[in-house]
Amino acid sequence: MRYCIQSDDEETLFGPARGCAGFHQRLLRFDAAGGEQEPVDGDDVLYVLRGSGAATVGGEKVELRPGTALYRAEGVGWSIDEADGLELLSVIVHDPLPGDGTRHAVVAIDDVEAGEATAGRQFRLLAPCPSVTQFVGYIPAGRAPDHYHRYDEVVYVLEGDGALHVGGESEPLRRGSCIHQPAKLVHSLENRGPGEMLVLGVFRPAGSPAEAYYVDGTPAHQY
């Protein structure tokens, strides 16, 4: 299934070469200080998957631990100053929107309240970026009804086992699986349990992760 990749080893997960023109989803790994990082063409939202370290982002010293989210506007420099098994998921946003003047931001997931979404699911909004919404979604065991979103999205499975269902095809999901869901793609994400599934999503245009529509166009969630 071209919408789903099962890989823990590739640095580039989704991008233009894989039919995802708006994003460049990639893994970054550091076992020691990495120094000044190369500039990228676009805004960048990052999330610490595992390990620990420290960075300087736009002149601000930042502690890095699992659950830390970062936003860097296009042109903002950053460096990895310390790293111990550090792994980050980065999503570069091509052709970003003009911002409100905020050039970078840091958010810890434990400091964010959860919101409600479709089929008993919850989410926490993370690093603020004018072009996209970055969030962690919490999915209970079970399968949601087929639905679609009006936004273009890349997803990374943080925890849990399940399946992605699209057009009569199914692809297993596990920790490290990544998904590209183009706008209006009818799909269903299933958590096969027994525990909760956690996913990290980034979508554009920015909005609410709760916004979803059934196949007939009716809203799947009132918020």
The predicted pLDDT at position 86 comes to 96
The predicted pLDDT at position 156 comes to 97
Count of domains in the chain?
A: 2
Does 219 fall in a domain? no
List Cβ neighbours of 171 (8 Å cut-off, separation of 6 or more).
Answer: 1, 3, 4, 6, 163, 164
The tokens describing 27, both together, are: 């893994």
Question: For residue 123, which amino acid is it?
Answer: F
Looking at the structure, tell me whether residues 34 and 79 fall in a common domain: yes
Does 65 fall in a domain? yes
Looking at the structure, tell me whether residues 57 and 88 fall in a common domain: yes
* Residue 63 CB neighbour total at 10 angstroms: 13
- Walk along the chain (223 residues) and give the pLDDT tens digit of each residue: 778 888 766 688 999 988 899 999 999 999 998 889 988 899 999 999 999 999 999 999 999 999 999 999 999 999 999 999 999 999 999 999 887 888 999 999 999 999 887 767 899 999 999 999 999 999 999 998 999 999 999 999 999 999 999 999 999 999 999 999 999 999 999 999 999 999 999 999 999 999 999 999 999 865 4
Looking at the structure, tell me whether residues 93 and 125 fall in a common domain: no
The residue out of 109, 141, 159 marking a domain boundary is 109
Looking at the structure, tell me whether residues 56 and 147 fall in a common domain: no
Handedness of CA 170, 175, 181, 187 (dihedral sign): positive
Looking at the structure, tell me whether residues 126 and 142 fall in a common domain: yes
Give the domain extent around 151.
Answer: 113-214
How many Cα atoms sit within 13 Å of 26 on the Cβ side? 13
The predicted pLDDT at position 222 comes to 55
